[in-house]
Amino acid sequence: MSATSSEQTLATAVLSGDRRALARLITRVENRAPDALEALAILHSHTGRAAIVGVTGAPGTGKSSLVNALALALRRRGQTVGIVAVDPTSPFSGGAVLGDRVRMVDLAGDSGVFIRSMASRGSLGGLAATTGDVVRVLDAAGFAVILVETVGAGQSEVEIARMAHTTVVVDAPGLGDEVQAIKAGILEIADILVVNKADRPGAQNTVRTLRAMLELGHRLRTGGHHGVRAVAAAVQAEPVFDSWTVPVIETVATEHKGIDELLAALDRHQAHLRETGEITDRERQRVEAELLARLREALLARLLAERPPEALEKTIQRILRRELDPNTAVRALLEDDLSSPDGKG
Protein backbone atom coordinates (compact mmCIF):
# COMPACT_ATOMS: atom_id res chain seq x y z
CA MET A 1 0.00 0.00 0.00
CA SER A 2 2.75 2.41 0.92
CA ALA A 3 4.75 1.33 -2.14
CA THR A 4 1.73 2.02 -4.31
CA SER A 5 1.21 5.48 -2.96
CA SER A 6 4.92 6.29 -3.26
CA GLU A 7 4.78 5.32 -6.94
CA GLN A 8 1.72 7.50 -7.36
CA THR A 9 3.61 10.35 -5.77
CA LEU A 10 6.54 9.76 -8.10
CA ALA A 11 4.25 9.73 -11.16
CA THR A 12 2.51 12.90 -10.01
CA ALA A 13 5.87 14.59 -9.41
CA VAL A 14 7.01 13.60 -12.90
CA LEU A 15 3.86 15.13 -14.38
CA SER A 16 4.48 18.35 -12.49
CA GLY A 17 7.98 18.65 -13.96
CA ASP A 18 10.10 17.44 -11.03
CA ARG A 19 13.40 16.41 -12.64
CA ARG A 20 14.68 14.45 -9.68
CA ALA A 21 11.50 12.40 -9.63
CA LEU A 22 11.83 11.88 -13.38
CA ALA A 23 15.38 10.57 -12.97
CA ARG A 24 14.38 8.28 -10.12
CA LEU A 25 11.37 6.88 -11.94
CA ILE A 26 13.54 6.13 -14.99
CA THR A 27 15.86 4.14 -12.72
CA ARG A 28 12.94 2.14 -11.35
CA VAL A 29 11.71 1.46 -14.88
CA GLU A 30 15.20 0.37 -15.98
CA ASN A 31 15.49 -1.93 -12.99
CA ARG A 32 12.05 -3.36 -13.72
CA ALA A 33 11.08 -2.68 -10.16
CA PRO A 34 7.60 -4.16 -9.78
CA ASP A 35 6.19 -0.92 -8.37
CA ALA A 36 7.34 1.05 -11.42
CA LEU A 37 4.51 -0.63 -13.35
CA GLU A 38 2.06 1.28 -11.22
CA ALA A 39 3.67 4.60 -12.13
CA LEU A 40 3.76 3.67 -15.83
CA ALA A 41 0.06 2.84 -15.68
CA ILE A 42 -0.67 6.28 -14.25
CA LEU A 43 1.51 8.00 -16.85
CA HIS A 44 0.13 6.10 -19.85
CA SER A 45 -2.79 8.44 -20.46
CA HIS A 46 -0.37 11.38 -20.61
CA THR A 47 1.69 9.89 -23.42
CA GLY A 48 1.39 10.16 -27.18
CA ARG A 49 2.22 13.84 -27.55
CA ALA A 50 5.96 13.74 -28.17
CA ALA A 51 7.62 13.37 -31.56
CA ILE A 52 9.94 10.38 -31.19
CA VAL A 53 13.05 10.47 -33.37
CA GLY A 54 15.51 7.58 -33.52
CA VAL A 55 19.16 8.16 -34.39
CA THR A 56 21.11 5.07 -35.36
CA GLY A 57 24.18 4.09 -37.35
CA ALA A 58 27.55 2.40 -37.11
CA PRO A 59 29.92 3.21 -34.24
CA GLY A 60 31.95 6.36 -34.87
CA THR A 61 29.63 7.94 -37.43
CA GLY A 62 28.89 10.80 -35.04
CA LYS A 63 25.47 9.94 -33.65
CA SER A 64 26.03 11.67 -30.30
CA SER A 65 27.40 14.81 -31.91
CA LEU A 66 24.44 14.86 -34.26
CA VAL A 67 22.00 14.46 -31.36
CA ASN A 68 23.79 17.32 -29.59
CA ALA A 69 23.51 19.60 -32.62
CA LEU A 70 19.93 18.60 -33.35
CA ALA A 71 18.84 19.18 -29.76
CA LEU A 72 20.41 22.65 -29.80
CA ALA A 73 18.53 23.50 -32.99
CA LEU A 74 15.25 22.24 -31.51
CA ARG A 75 15.86 24.33 -28.39
CA ARG A 76 16.37 27.42 -30.54
CA ARG A 77 12.86 26.85 -31.88
CA GLY A 78 11.62 26.67 -28.31
CA GLN A 79 10.91 22.93 -28.22
CA THR A 80 11.87 20.92 -25.16
CA VAL A 81 14.01 17.84 -25.77
CA GLY A 82 14.39 14.53 -23.97
CA ILE A 83 17.38 12.41 -24.95
CA VAL A 84 17.86 8.69 -24.33
CA ALA A 85 21.34 7.52 -25.30
CA VAL A 86 21.94 3.76 -25.26
CA ASP A 87 25.41 2.20 -25.02
CA PRO A 88 26.27 -1.49 -24.82
CA THR A 89 26.48 -3.52 -21.63
CA SER A 90 29.53 -5.75 -21.35
CA PRO A 91 28.40 -9.34 -21.83
CA PHE A 92 31.17 -10.44 -19.45
CA SER A 93 30.77 -8.18 -16.43
CA GLY A 94 27.26 -6.79 -16.86
CA GLY A 95 28.78 -3.33 -16.46
CA ALA A 96 28.92 -0.52 -19.01
CA VAL A 97 30.70 2.70 -19.79
CA LEU A 98 28.13 5.19 -21.04
CA GLY A 99 30.00 7.93 -22.86
CA ASP A 100 27.45 9.74 -24.99
CA ARG A 101 27.27 12.76 -22.68
CA VAL A 102 30.86 13.61 -23.63
CA ARG A 103 29.52 14.91 -26.97
CA MET A 104 26.52 16.64 -25.47
CA VAL A 105 28.18 19.31 -23.35
CA ASP A 106 26.49 22.12 -25.31
CA LEU A 107 23.19 21.12 -23.70
CA ALA A 108 24.38 21.48 -20.11
CA GLY A 109 22.54 23.93 -17.92
CA ASP A 110 19.40 24.00 -20.06
CA SER A 111 16.32 22.99 -18.09
CA GLY A 112 14.50 22.35 -21.36
CA VAL A 113 16.72 19.34 -21.98
CA PHE A 114 16.92 16.05 -20.10
CA ILE A 115 19.63 13.55 -21.03
CA ARG A 116 19.61 9.99 -19.81
CA SER A 117 22.26 7.39 -20.60
CA MET A 118 21.07 3.78 -20.69
CA ALA A 119 23.00 0.53 -20.80
CA SER A 120 21.60 -2.06 -23.19
CA ARG A 121 21.58 -4.68 -20.39
CA GLY A 122 21.79 -7.70 -22.63
CA SER A 123 19.36 -6.66 -25.37
CA LEU A 124 20.70 -7.11 -28.88
CA GLY A 125 18.40 -4.93 -30.97
CA GLY A 126 20.33 -1.69 -30.41
CA LEU A 127 18.18 -0.60 -27.47
CA ALA A 128 17.57 -1.80 -23.93
CA ALA A 129 14.45 -3.82 -23.18
CA THR A 130 13.09 -0.91 -21.15
CA THR A 131 13.97 1.91 -23.56
CA GLY A 132 10.37 2.07 -24.79
CA ASP A 133 9.12 2.58 -21.25
CA VAL A 134 11.76 5.22 -20.54
CA VAL A 135 10.68 7.08 -23.70
CA ARG A 136 7.10 6.86 -22.46
CA VAL A 137 8.07 8.42 -19.12
CA LEU A 138 9.79 11.31 -20.93
CA ASP A 139 6.75 11.69 -23.19
CA ALA A 140 4.46 11.92 -20.16
CA ALA A 141 6.87 14.41 -18.56
CA GLY A 142 6.02 16.72 -21.46
CA PHE A 143 9.12 16.81 -23.65
CA ALA A 144 8.08 17.89 -27.16
CA VAL A 145 10.74 15.88 -28.98
CA ILE A 146 12.45 12.73 -27.74
CA LEU A 147 15.71 11.76 -29.42
CA VAL A 148 16.67 8.11 -28.97
CA GLU A 149 20.27 7.28 -29.81
CA THR A 150 20.92 3.55 -30.29
CA VAL A 151 24.11 1.67 -29.56
CA GLY A 152 26.54 1.73 -32.47
CA ALA A 153 24.53 -0.41 -34.81
CA GLY A 154 25.53 -2.78 -37.55
CA GLN A 155 23.08 -4.32 -39.94
CA SER A 156 20.40 -5.84 -37.82
CA GLU A 157 19.79 -3.49 -34.91
CA VAL A 158 16.52 -2.29 -36.34
CA GLU A 159 14.33 -2.18 -33.24
CA ILE A 160 14.49 1.60 -33.22
CA ALA A 161 12.32 1.77 -36.35
CA ARG A 162 9.49 0.23 -34.41
CA MET A 163 9.74 2.69 -31.56
CA ALA A 164 10.41 5.96 -33.37
CA HIS A 165 8.13 8.00 -35.60
CA THR A 166 11.13 9.04 -37.65
CA THR A 167 14.33 7.03 -37.93
CA VAL A 168 17.52 8.85 -38.88
CA VAL A 169 20.33 6.57 -40.04
CA VAL A 170 23.76 8.17 -39.80
CA ASP A 171 26.52 7.15 -42.18
CA ALA A 172 30.01 8.56 -42.62
CA PRO A 173 32.53 8.47 -45.44
CA GLY A 174 34.68 5.38 -45.87
CA LEU A 175 32.55 2.80 -44.08
CA GLY A 176 31.20 0.63 -46.84
CA ASP A 177 30.82 0.02 -50.50
CA GLU A 178 27.81 -0.29 -52.76
CA VAL A 179 27.01 -3.85 -51.77
CA GLN A 180 26.71 -2.78 -48.13
CA ALA A 181 24.20 -0.20 -49.24
CA ILE A 182 21.74 -2.67 -50.79
CA LYS A 183 21.83 -5.17 -47.96
CA ALA A 184 18.66 -5.30 -45.96
CA GLY A 185 18.63 -3.93 -42.47
CA ILE A 186 19.75 -0.67 -41.08
CA LEU A 187 19.65 1.38 -44.28
CA GLU A 188 16.22 0.04 -45.06
CA ILE A 189 14.75 1.48 -41.88
CA ALA A 190 15.93 5.02 -42.63
CA ASP A 191 13.30 7.71 -43.05
CA ILE A 192 16.17 10.15 -43.35
CA LEU A 193 19.75 9.31 -44.28
CA VAL A 194 22.52 11.51 -42.95
CA VAL A 195 26.07 11.53 -44.23
CA ASN A 196 27.91 13.05 -41.30
CA LYS A 197 31.54 14.23 -41.42
CA ALA A 198 30.65 15.50 -44.88
CA ASP A 199 33.81 17.63 -44.95
CA ARG A 200 35.95 14.48 -45.06
CA PRO A 201 37.41 12.99 -48.24
CA GLY A 202 35.09 10.46 -49.85
CA ALA A 203 31.91 12.06 -48.52
CA GLN A 204 30.58 12.69 -52.02
CA ASN A 205 31.11 9.01 -52.86
CA THR A 206 29.07 8.00 -49.85
CA VAL A 207 26.28 10.42 -50.77
CA ARG A 208 26.25 9.16 -54.36
CA THR A 209 26.18 5.52 -53.27
CA LEU A 210 23.26 6.12 -50.92
CA ARG A 211 21.33 8.11 -53.54
CA ALA A 212 21.93 5.37 -56.09
CA MET A 213 20.65 2.78 -53.65
CA LEU A 214 17.50 4.81 -53.05
CA GLU A 215 16.90 5.05 -56.78
CA LEU A 216 16.91 1.27 -57.11
CA GLY A 217 13.38 1.24 -55.88
CA HIS A 218 10.81 2.67 -53.57
CA ARG A 219 10.92 1.55 -50.04
CA LEU A 220 8.48 -0.93 -48.59
CA ARG A 221 6.27 0.44 -45.94
CA THR A 222 6.94 -0.87 -42.49
CA GLY A 223 4.57 -3.82 -42.82
CA GLY A 224 0.88 -3.79 -42.05
CA HIS A 225 -2.01 -2.25 -43.85
CA HIS A 226 -3.06 1.13 -45.06
CA GLY A 227 -4.79 2.67 -42.12
CA VAL A 228 -7.93 1.52 -40.36
CA ARG A 229 -10.36 2.36 -43.15
CA ALA A 230 -8.61 0.16 -45.69
CA VAL A 231 -8.69 -2.96 -43.55
CA ALA A 232 -12.14 -4.07 -44.61
CA ALA A 233 -11.56 -3.15 -48.24
CA ALA A 234 -8.52 -5.26 -48.84
CA VAL A 235 -6.50 -7.79 -46.96
CA GLN A 236 -3.29 -6.98 -48.71
CA ALA A 237 -1.00 -9.69 -49.85
CA GLU A 238 0.98 -7.27 -51.96
CA PRO A 239 3.74 -5.15 -50.50
CA VAL A 240 2.81 -1.55 -49.80
CA PHE A 241 5.25 1.06 -51.00
CA ASP A 242 5.86 4.22 -49.10
CA SER A 243 5.31 7.47 -50.94
CA TRP A 244 7.96 9.13 -48.78
CA THR A 245 11.19 9.92 -50.58
CA VAL A 246 14.12 9.33 -48.26
CA PRO A 247 16.37 12.39 -48.34
CA VAL A 248 20.14 12.15 -48.05
CA ILE A 249 21.44 15.02 -45.96
CA GLU A 250 25.05 16.06 -45.51
CA THR A 251 26.10 17.30 -42.10
CA VAL A 252 29.19 18.20 -40.11
CA ALA A 253 27.63 17.79 -36.69
CA THR A 254 30.59 19.10 -34.71
CA GLU A 255 30.37 22.37 -36.66
CA HIS A 256 26.55 22.41 -36.70
CA LYS A 257 26.55 22.34 -40.51
CA GLY A 258 23.55 20.87 -42.30
CA ILE A 259 21.50 20.73 -39.11
CA ASP A 260 18.83 23.16 -40.36
CA GLU A 261 18.36 20.95 -43.42
CA LEU A 262 18.05 17.91 -41.18
CA LEU A 263 15.50 19.68 -39.01
CA ALA A 264 13.48 20.66 -42.11
CA ALA A 265 13.53 17.03 -43.27
CA LEU A 266 12.31 15.90 -39.85
CA ASP A 267 9.45 18.38 -40.05
CA ARG A 268 8.54 17.20 -43.54
CA HIS A 269 8.55 13.58 -42.40
CA GLN A 270 6.35 14.31 -39.40
CA ALA A 271 3.91 16.12 -41.69
CA HIS A 272 4.01 13.19 -44.13
CA LEU A 273 3.18 10.74 -41.33
CA ARG A 274 0.16 12.79 -40.33
CA GLU A 275 -1.11 13.49 -43.85
CA THR A 276 -0.91 9.85 -44.96
CA GLY A 277 -2.21 8.46 -41.70
CA GLU A 278 0.93 6.40 -41.40
CA ILE A 279 1.46 7.71 -37.93
CA THR A 280 -1.59 5.72 -36.82
CA ASP A 281 -0.26 2.63 -38.60
CA ARG A 282 3.09 2.93 -36.91
CA GLU A 283 1.53 3.44 -33.51
CA ARG A 284 -0.64 0.38 -34.01
CA GLN A 285 2.30 -1.77 -35.07
CA ARG A 286 4.31 -0.56 -32.13
CA VAL A 287 1.53 -1.32 -29.68
CA GLU A 288 1.03 -4.76 -31.22
CA ALA A 289 4.73 -5.63 -31.12
CA GLU A 290 5.05 -4.43 -27.56
CA LEU A 291 1.97 -6.25 -26.40
CA LEU A 292 3.21 -9.50 -27.94
CA ALA A 293 6.66 -9.05 -26.41
CA ARG A 294 5.20 -8.41 -22.98
CA LEU A 295 2.83 -11.30 -23.31
CA ARG A 296 5.68 -13.58 -24.32
CA GLU A 297 7.66 -12.54 -21.28
CA ALA A 298 4.71 -12.87 -18.92
CA LEU A 299 3.75 -16.29 -20.28
CA LEU A 300 7.33 -17.48 -19.91
CA ALA A 301 7.47 -16.23 -16.33
CA ARG A 302 4.16 -17.90 -15.56
CA LEU A 303 5.21 -21.19 -17.12
CA LEU A 304 8.51 -21.28 -15.27
CA ALA A 305 6.76 -20.46 -12.02
CA GLU A 306 4.41 -23.40 -12.54
CA ARG A 307 7.21 -25.90 -13.18
CA PRO A 308 9.55 -27.23 -10.50
CA PRO A 309 12.52 -24.86 -10.08
CA GLU A 310 14.98 -27.47 -11.37
CA ALA A 311 12.95 -28.30 -14.51
CA LEU A 312 14.78 -25.85 -16.76
CA GLU A 313 18.27 -26.91 -15.68
CA LYS A 314 17.40 -30.60 -15.98
CA THR A 315 16.04 -30.07 -19.47
CA ILE A 316 19.20 -28.21 -20.46
CA GLN A 317 21.32 -31.07 -19.15
CA ARG A 318 19.27 -33.62 -21.08
CA ILE A 319 19.67 -31.63 -24.29
CA LEU A 320 23.40 -31.42 -23.64
CA ARG A 321 23.54 -35.20 -23.15
CA ARG A 322 21.75 -35.54 -26.49
CA GLU A 323 18.83 -37.36 -24.85
CA LEU A 324 16.37 -34.73 -25.93
CA ASP A 325 16.23 -32.37 -28.86
CA PRO A 326 15.28 -28.71 -28.24
CA ASN A 327 11.91 -28.90 -29.99
CA THR A 328 10.79 -31.94 -28.06
CA ALA A 329 12.07 -30.28 -24.89
CA VAL A 330 9.85 -27.25 -25.53
CA ARG A 331 6.81 -29.48 -26.02
CA ALA A 332 7.63 -31.41 -22.87
CA LEU A 333 8.03 -28.24 -20.83
CA LEU A 334 4.78 -26.80 -22.16
CA GLU A 335 2.86 -30.00 -21.41
CA ASP A 336 4.63 -30.58 -18.11
CA ASP A 337 5.65 -33.98 -19.35
CA LEU A 338 9.23 -34.25 -18.17
CA SER A 339 9.28 -37.95 -17.54
CA SER A 340 11.76 -39.00 -14.88
CA PRO A 341 13.23 -36.03 -13.04
CA ASP A 342 16.87 -36.84 -13.72
CA GLY A 343 16.36 -38.02 -17.27
CA LYS A 344 17.06 -41.66 -16.43
CA GLY A 345 20.71 -41.37 -17.34
Partner 1 sequence: MSDEKIRVLIAKPGLDGHDRGAKVIARALRDAGMEVIYTGLRQTPEMIAEAALQEDVHVVGLSILSGAHMALVPRVIEQLRAAGLDDVLVLVGGIIPDDDIPALQAMGVSAVFGPGTSTDDIVRFIRSAVQLSSP
Binding residues for partner 1, per CB under 8 A?
A: 6, 19-20, 23-24, 26-27, 30-34, 89-90, 92-99, 101-102, 105, 108-109, 114-117, 119, 121, 301
**What does the alpha-carbon distance between residue 7 and residue 4 come to, in Å, rounded to a whole number?**
5
Q: How far is the CB of 281 from partner 1 (least distance, A)?
A: 33
**What does the alpha-carbon distance between residue 249 and residue 192 come to, in Å, rounded to a whole number?**
8
**Using CB atoms within 10 A of its CB, is residue 66 exposed (0-12), middle (13-18) or buried (19+)?**
buried
Which of 235, 131, 248, 135 lies closest to 193, judged by CA? 248
Q: What is the DSSP string of 124-192?
A: -SSS-TTHHHHHHHHHHTT-SEEEEEPSS--SS--HHHHH-SEEEEEE-TTS--HHHHHSSSTTTT-SE
C-alpha distances out from residue 158 to 44, 55, 184, Å: 25, 11, 10
- Residue 32 or 183: the one with the smaller Cβ distance to partner 1 is 32
Which of 233, 180, 238 lies closest to 206, judged by CA? 180
- Residue 115 or 169: the one with the smaller Cβ distance to partner 1 is 115
SS3 category, 33: coil
- Residue 6 or 243: the one with the smaller Cβ distance to partner 1 is 6
Q: How far is the CB of 115 from partner 1 (least distance, A)?
A: 6
- Residue 116 or 221: the one with the smaller Cβ distance to partner 1 is 116
Q: How far is the CB of 94 from partner 1 (least distance, A)?
A: 4
- Residue 108 or 216: the one with the smaller Cβ distance to partner 1 is 108
SS3 category, 81: strand
Length of the chain (residues):
345
Q: How far is the CB of 135 from partner 1 (least distance, A)?
A: 15
- Residue 3 or 334: the one with the smaller Cβ distance to partner 1 is 3
SS3 category, 60: coil
- Residue 21 or 324: the one with the smaller Cβ distance to partner 1 is 21
Q: How far is the CB of 255 from partner 1 (least distance, A)?
A: 19
- Residue 1 or 233: the one with the smaller Cβ distance to partner 1 is 1
Render the burial of 28-43: b for 16+ CB within 10 Å, e for the rest: bbbeeeeebebbbebb
Q: How far is the CB of 89 from partner 1 (least distance, A)?
A: 8
Q: How far is the CB of 158 from partner 1 (least distance, A)?
A: 24
SS3 category, 119: strand
Q: How far is the CB of 41 from partner 1 (least distance, A)?
A: 18
202 in Cβ contact with 173 (< 8 Å): yes
